[in-house]
Amino acid sequence: MKAALTGVHHVKIWVSDLARSRSWYERVLGLEHRISFEDDDGVIRGMSFGVPGAGFQIALRENPGLARALSDADPFGLEATREGLDAWAARLDELGVPHSPIVRASSGYAMGFRDPDGVQIRLYAADERVHAALDGEAETERVYRPGPLPTVESD
């Protein structure tokens, strides 16, 4: 049998406050709590969530030091459709979550926003027409520059 990867099982995000982040990720991304993880001291510092419509999970792990060290990171990108990006922009506006505009990206369109710890969450929508147009551009023109993401208000 050939060694092969078949998909993504989970993405882990380090957070400074598990309760705050759980509330935010459930409210903003619609994540569905699956399981909580206790440390040896009996305190819950980790949780796993299903991502509706996707074949992977997002795990949150409380560690304030790592969350601070990794703030402003871009650990993963989530896939959507081009129309879905418009719907996400409207949803984020309704929730009062600052986000970037939808921009042309390396192979389609993208937008971004930040979680309460400043982690960048990028949404991508593939578009073969954009990808094909980029194939004809000079290498220096193919650099994806999405622009700055909004800052996160601290509690």
pLDDT per residue of the chain (155 residues) written in tens, 0 to 9:
888 778 889 999 999 999 999 999 999 999 999 999 999 999 999 999 999 999 899 999 999 999 988 887 888 889 999 999 999 999 999 999 999 999 988 778 999 999 999 999 999 998 877 655 555 554 444 444 445 566 555 44
pLDDT of residue 28: 97
The CATH code of the domain at 1-70 is 3.10.180.10
**Stated pTM of the model:** 0.80
Domain with CATH 3.10.180.10 in the chain: 1-70, 71-155
User: Are β-strands 57-62 and 44-50 bridged in parallel, bridged antiparallel, or unpaired?
Assistant: antiparallel
pLDDT of residue 83: 93
pLDDT of residue 151: 59
**Nearest to 126, CA basis, from 94, 89, 78:** 78
pLDDT of residue 143: 43
pLDDT of residue 102: 94
- The one-character DSSP state at 54 is S
Query: Which amino acid is it at 120?
Result: Q
Domain covering 71-155 assigned CATH 3.10.180.10 in the classification: yes
